Amino acid sequence: MTALPRAHDPASATLLDRYAAVRRQTLALAAPLSPEDCVVQSMPDASPAKWHLAHTTWFFETFVLAPHVAGYTPFREPYRVLFNSYYVAVGDRHPRPERGLLTRPTLREVQAYRQYVDGAMQALLETGRGTALRDTVELGLQHEQQHQELVVTDVKHLLSRNPLAPVYRARWPLLAVASRATGWIAHPGGIVDIGHGSGGFAFDNEGPRHRALLAPHAIATHPVTNGEYRAFIADGGYRRPDLWCSLGWDTVVAHGWEAPLYWRRRDGDWRTFTLYGEVDVDDDTPVAHVSWFEADAYARWAGARLPTEFEWEALAAGQRVDGNFADGGALHPLPAPAAAPGAPAQLFGDVWEWTASAYAPYPGFRTAPGAIGEYNGKFMCNQYVLRGGSCATPRGHVRATYRNFFPPEARWQFSGIRLASDA
């Protein structure tokens, strides 16, 4: 794409490699999908896969190429509006619930858009420009990884709405047998350091690093399993208002919830829709696709509570960030592997873990100026923090300080439960 001599700055080379790898991975996730699968929007919360492919590209075009490459020509001018998500400062946006109406550009044209931008990005990165640019590129890659997870969860939701129960992947990954005994890990309480410090990428909402005071408490070694959750259902969990917060109970009644999203009663037993089609509910696997309402109600039923995000982070701070991530290819939570006694299992990967903490700014939090500043701060209302990543999260994307957030009724992410209790 260019005959210019390559830059020899090793960091540039690394960033370029990383750029290529992340971008390639997005395409790989969309590979099993037909053009039809890529265009439809199954609910306002979700977006078409084609839109994700385009929007992540738009991010690089808007925040990297347009401001940093003199004379850059946008691939198509109208894409500026069409593929803006919510960056008000960038200008108009196509309405979110109408993303599924965009049959044009076609998937093929969006793929050409990606190639065009990738070419320009490669040329730019090879020049080895300064740190500010590199920070924005890194943000764009982290952003793309977030959308990779959404490609998986949005496609799962779409396919689940089809009576034919189509399959995204063919070979069922559950081979392991769990050998686990859930225990508790106690914490004496006291002041801990919370939030991202120096070193490595982090989103703005992970800082500033600050001190928090914990009460004595304990956290479960394992996430709650389908088998444990099945007992909650069998005990009338979805029919007992005393277990639910008021808003949660209203939601249960309004939507007729009686199990996690994707669970279906068949001949008196539970089946569940997965990216591999409909399968039996496996009792040893962490429960997924529950809302905060359900996590909170389950915890109350179990005589426990959800951990605060600070308690969770204090536990995670000393742990290695490893687990069942998207790169492993399962794209489904797996039964617990053997773990050292008293050590947390499945803290990272498998399922995002709802915390008791409403999503709020850390003391001293300031949003960045301009459109980039709209990244996280504006969502700090009526959402709850989830921690730890899931089986749909790209490896390397999460860390102990990472704060994901969703409204308490959201269920289409791989969201699960880890219990805590007062000491």
Query: Interface with a copy of itself by CB under 8 A: which residues?
Result: 34-40, 42, 50, 78, 81-82, 86, 88-89, 94, 98, 100-107, 158-159, 161-164, 166, 191, 210-213, 215, 217, 241-242, 244-249, 292-293, 296, 356-358, 360-361, 363-364, 374, 377-382, 408, 422
Q: Which is nearer to a copy of itself, 337 or 361 (CB)?
A: 361
Residues 6 or more apart whose Cβ sits within 8 Å of residue 418? 219, 220, 222, 223, 224, 306, 307, 312, 347, 353
CA dihedral 244, 250, 251, 252 (to 10 degrees): 60
Our separate counts of H helices and E strands in the chain read 11, 14
DSSP conformation letters of 258-288:
-SSTTEEEETTEEEEEEBTEEEEPPTTSBP-
- And the tokens for 45? 């919360």
Q: Which is nearer to a copy of itself, 110 or 178 (CB)?
A: 110
Question: Shortest Cβ distance from residue 259 to a copy of itself (Å)?
Answer: 21
85, 150 in Cβ contact below 8 A?
A: no
Question: Shortest Cβ distance from residue 122 to a copy of itself (Å)?
Answer: 28
Contacts 24+ apart (CB under 8 A), 376-379: 376/203, 376/204, 376/205, 377/204, 377/205, 378/86, 379/405
Q: Which is nearer to a copy of itself, 15 or 218 (CB)?
A: 218
Q: Which is nearer to a copy of itself, 123 or 192 (CB)?
A: 192
Question: Shortest Cβ distance from residue 374 to a copy of itself (Å)?
Answer: 8
> What gap in Å lies between CA 116 and CA 114, rounded to an integer?
5
Q: Which is nearer to a copy of itself, 308 or 324 (CB)?
A: 308
94, 81 in Cβ contact below 8 A?
A: yes
Question: Shortest Cβ distance from residue 197 to a copy of itself (Å)?
Answer: 16
Question: Shortest Cβ distance from residue 159 to a copy of itself (Å)?
Answer: 8
- And the tokens for 358? 């409403």
Q: Which is nearer to a copy of itself, 267 or 422 (CB)?
A: 422
Q: Which is nearer to a copy of itself, 96 or 134 (CB)?
A: 96
Question: Shortest Cβ distance from residue 407 to a copy of itself (Å)?
Answer: 8
Question: Shortest Cβ distance from residue 41 to a copy of itself (Å)?
Answer: 9
Question: Shortest Cβ distance from residue 202 to a copy of itself (Å)?
Answer: 20
- DSSP state at residue 215: P
Taking each helix axis from N to C terminus, what angle separates 107-126 and 49-60, rounded to the nearest 10 degrees?
A: 30
Q: Which is nearer to a copy of itself, 307 or 388 (CB)?
A: 307
Residues 6 or more apart whose Cβ sits within 8 Å of residue 172? 276, 279
